[in-house]
Amino acid sequence: MAEEIKEPKAPEEKAPEERKSTEMIDKANEAAARLERANIEHAKIVAREEALHVEKTLGGKADAGLPPPKEESPEEYAKRIMAGEEVGNKQGKKD
């Protein structure tokens, strides 16, 4: 009895349509993975921006330790005006 010699089978080639669909699926999966990584990075950036905004808002400007602004008396106002200084300028400098 002679045994039949079996040739090794070549890997089955997929039909061109099937190859295209799997390639498209692979590309879509890669794109989805890139989007997920980008979303994670964006979430980190947004969290940092929120923290900066909160710090900025709560930081505010404190006038602690500074004396309250001095009100100008009518005599001081008259002197300043007679000296030719401008009305809004209280530091004695001309604009």
pLDDT tens by residue, 11-27: 566 666 777 778 999 99
Residue type, 37: R
In the predicted structure, residue 61 carries a pLDDT above the cut 90: no
Q: How far apart are CA 60 and CA 17, in angstroms?
A: 64
Q: How confident is the model at residue 31 (pLDDT cuts 50, 70, 90)?
A: very high
Residues with Cβ within 8 Å of 28's Cβ and at least 6 positions away in sequence, in order, are: none
Specify the range with the lowest mean pLDDT, choosing from 29-43, 55-69, 74-88.
55-69
Note the pLDDT of residue 1: 47
Record the pTM: 0.42
In the 8-state DSSP scheme, what is residue 6?
Answer: P
